[in-house]
């Protein structure tokens, strides 16, 4: 096995900037995307299916 030794200590949490902060908070971005796009498309799909079923049954 090969071990790599780094002399630097990692920065404390919360010191990220820019893209690092976005990647660090990826969970929240995924949840926002899910709420805005995925749930809305499922809601639209359910209404469309209901409309299509009512149109086809008449």
**What are residue 18's phi and psi, to 5 degrees?**
55, -125
pTM of the model: 0.51
8-state DSSP, 8: S
What totals of helices (H) and strands (E) does the chain contain, helices first?
Answer: 3, 0
Report pLDDT for 8.
81
pLDDT at residue number 10: 73
Dig out the tokens for 28 from the structure.
């929240």
| pLDDT band per the 50, 70, 90 thresholds, residue 33 | very high
Report CA-CA distances (Å) from 34 to 5, 38, 41, 42, 48.
40, 5, 10, 10, 20
In this prediction, residue 1 carries a pLDDT of 66
Q: Which residue has the higher pLDDT, 17 or 35?
A: 35
Q: In the chain, what are the domain boundaries?
A: 19-57
């Amino acid at each position: 096995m090969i071990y790599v030794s780094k002399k630097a200590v990692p920065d404390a949490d919360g010191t990220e900037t820019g893209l690092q902060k976005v990647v660090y908070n990826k969970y929240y971005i995924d949840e926002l995307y899910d709420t805005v796009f995925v749930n809305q498309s499922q809601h639209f799909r359910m209404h469309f299916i209901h409309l299509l079923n009512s149109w086809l049954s008449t």
